[in-house]
Amino acid sequence: MDIVIETPKGSRIKYKYDENHGFFRLKKILPEGLVFPFDFGFIPGTKGEDGDPIDVLVISEFQGFPGCLMDCRIIGCIQAEQSSNGKNIRNDRFLAIPEQSGVFENAISIEDIPSTIITQVEKFFTNYLEGEGKIFIPLGNLNAAQAMSLLTAEKASV
């Protein structure tokens, strides 16, 4: 599955694809010490409840760059709600592995990733969104098959 990277692993700078201009726009700078734990991007041609393309965190030992197109397999999903100004919306984070990964080549589903990584990813999004005045509420995790079913349903509703 094609994933477009918006923000690379290790970056304090959050980029967002601007469909109107066809470029990546600097969205914000994260506080000192807060960086993206892995490449963050989206699935082209999709739309989540928040109105943006469906979010994907690409777990790997290397980093991409804004605009990099990666061939990945979906291994799971952190289901989540995002709360802002008393309004809750779903904003799930799908998890993927690049087909070129050596370290995670045997990771087929979320169960194959150390639970500490998943916990750290949840904490990252909690801290990241807190800086925007939003609350990130993890609702549970889906394995690869469940995540693909959810993704298929969400893509069908676009």
What pLDDT digit, counting tens, does each position of 102-120 carry? 999 999 999 999 999 999 9
- List the domain boundaries for the chain: 2-156
pLDDT grade, residue 158 (50/70/90)?
A: low
Q: For position 51, what pLDDT does the model report?
A: 87
60 within 8 A of 73, measured Cβ to Cβ: no
Q: For position 21, what pLDDT does the model report?
A: 96
Element (H, E) at 151: helix 144-156
Q: Which amino acid, residue 37?
A: P
The structure's pTM equals 0.94
56 within 8 A of 49, measured Cβ to Cβ: no
What pLDDT digit, counting tens, does each position of 66-115 carry? 999 999 999 999 999 998 888 899 999 999 999 999 999 999 999 999 99
CATH of domain 2-156: 3.90.80.10
